[in-house]
Amino acid sequence: MTYEGAKKLLSENGQEHVLRFWDRLNDAEKASLLAQVEELDFSSIAKQKEILAANLAGTASAAGEQAPMEPAPVTVLSDSDRADIAKIGEHELKAGHVGVLLVAGGQGSRLGFDGPKGCYPVGPLTDESLFYFHARKLLALSKRYEVSVPWYIMTSRTNDADTRAFFEKNGYFGLNPKDVFFFTQGMWPALTPDGRIILDQPGHIFLGPDGHGGMLAALERSGALEDMQKRGLRTVFYFQVDNPMVDIADPAFIGFHVRSGADVSAKVCAKRDPQEGLGVIVERNRRTEIVEYTEFTDEQKNERLPDGELRYKYGSVAIHVFSVDFLVHETHAGLPIHIAHKKIPTVREDGTVEKPSTPNGYKFEKFIFDCLKDAKVCSCLAFDRTQEFSPVKNAEGKDSPASCRADLSRKWARWFADAGVTLDMDADGYPRNRIEIDPVFANTAEELAARLAAGVTIDRTADILLKA
Ligand code: UTP
């Protein structure tokens, strides 16, 4: 794109200020700014300006104004149902119909880690990364079902190169690189309250990832969706990078999805307390939706049924199964755009950069869970969070690396207990010695029991590290 072309395009869209430092830029900066302008998606920006204006004018529709909602039906499987339904999922896995989709393009700002969040060390004994645990689970699945399980990993432009380099450096954790497909999501600018694109350097537009909902367009743009179709995938297991307890492509969940003929399924768990920030699974207009907890009034959050249970008990932890046909359909559906008031570095008129201490601009994102309401059939399955959910979101406290490592150890200690090996536990139910199990060594309690029965011995007085 030429300077004249950029100037015309920007002034047609009321954004000519983007070039106001042009005369101060060197050639490389000029080229990079023109490339950024060329990639701007002005039709999305126009929508974002409308949303922003409605938001500031207080005319944006609130959840309360929408049709009435009810808690969505949730299935709780008995052990025998689970075993039966898992057979359907195992059949799908063995037939090579199942792929895995990870969204890892976020910025992890709450954790404050320098690098892709997936590289964060969580192994209680080895400091192995989030990516390690995910990858080794995929490897365990492909060994168990003697099939390749393709893995689609969404990155953003900010962390794509580092993510790929991490996989290279670690030999793809034993996976076949041909079964790992990286693709990058889109980036959107941020806007000032009057709808102007924000520069964070005189020659640079501030850009942020377009949200996990950007996955749908990115799947199509990158060829990942086509790859899924070429490989004959029918079902895709979806999860987020921050939860190393996730049961990837759990056969019972896959089987549940297939048996219910769903377009999309959600694993949901009982909220820790009424204030926990999980999206709540509801039904509205005969469709299933995930409503953000911020859209609930305190009264709704605390409402209880006669048996004392919370009325809106189940939250979503962003573990889904999608049918590939539904993903294809949704790439053309257009998800709503959400707005967030954020602190955004901004160039002052003298060309210096200000790092604001209070929110000064607006970022926009799409959320993948908004596609649930397009599903004709959306099935929800309850799961036990102590087995499958302990995310690394914050640097300290709840949902932190420390709580996650402790939860991992506690889960593995339960596997030992199930196999008849009692470890020394503290009063809070955590093992006194640290434990770590490579998912390729054992990916389930049953697999661990089988390994132990086959003669693996454990020193209960020391830390326990089991690797394949
Ligand atoms: P979060 O909502 O936890 O956001 O993402 P985050 O960016 O990782 O962390 P904070 O909020 O800045 O602290 C949930 C999942 O969605 C992915 C993240 O990588 C994570 O797996 N995600 C989020 C994307 O892939 N792209 C995005 O634009 C946003």
Whole-prediction pTM: 0.95
Among 219, 241, 246, 368, say which to mutate for ligand 1: greatest number of ligand atoms within 8 Å of CB.
241
HSE, side-chain direction, 13 A CA sphere, residue 267: 27
Strands 287-291, 279-284: pairing is: antiparallel
For CA atoms 116, 213, 249, 160, the dihedral sign is: negative
Question: Rg of the chain over CA atoms, in angstroms?
Answer: 24
- 386 and 272 Cβ atoms separated by less than 8 Å: no
* Minimal-distance CA residue to ligand 1 atom 10: 108
CB of 126 sitting under 6 A from ligand 1? no
- 431 and 408 Cβ atoms separated by less than 8 Å: no
CA 243 – CA 177 distance, rounded (Å): 23
Beta strand extents in 85-150 (DSSP E only): 98-103
CB atoms within 10 A of CB 16: 15
Atom of ligand 1 nearest to the CA of 241: 21
CB of 107 sitting under 6 A from ligand 1? yes
Q: Which two tokens stand for residue 415?
A: 């596997």
285-332: pLDDT as tens digits: 999 999 988 889 999 999 999 999 999 999 999 999 999 999 999 998
- The Cα-based distances of 15 to 41, 57, 199, 200, 260 in angstroms read 12, 21, 11, 15, 49
- 300 and 312 Cβ atoms separated by less than 8 Å: yes
C-alpha 86 to ligand 1 mean position (Å): 30
Among 101, 107, 290, 338, say which to mutate for ligand 1: greatest number of ligand atoms within 8 Å of CB.
107
pLDDT score for 294: 87
Atom of ligand 1 nearest to the CA of 210: 28
- 379 and 75 Cβ atoms separated by less than 8 Å: yes
Three-class secondary structure of residue 11 per DSSP = helix
pLDDT score for 332: 84
379-420: pLDDT as tens digits: 999 999 999 999 999 999 999 999 999 999 999 999 999 999
CB of 106 sitting under 6 A from ligand 1? yes
DSSP code, position 400 = S
pLDDT score for 32: 97
Among 134, 212, 400, 404, say which to mutate for ligand 1: greatest number of ligand atoms within 8 Å of CB.
212
CB of 104 sitting under 6 A from ligand 1? yes
- In which residue ranges of the chain is pLDDT below 50? none
C-alpha 365 to ligand 1 mean position (Å): 10
CA 379 – CA 374 distance, rounded (Å): 13
CB of 118 sitting under 6 A from ligand 1? no
CA 281 – CA 279 distance, rounded (Å): 7
CA 385 – CA 387 distance, rounded (Å): 5
Three-class secondary structure of residue 216 per DSSP = helix
- The Cα-based distances of 428 to 85, 122, 226, 291, 435 in angstroms read 34, 21, 49, 33, 16
Buried b (16+ CB within 10 A) or exposed e, 121-141: ebbbbeebbbbbbbbbbbbbb
| CB neighbour list of residue 442: distance below 8 Å, 6 or more residues apart | 415, 448, 450, 451, 466
pLDDT score for 66: 77
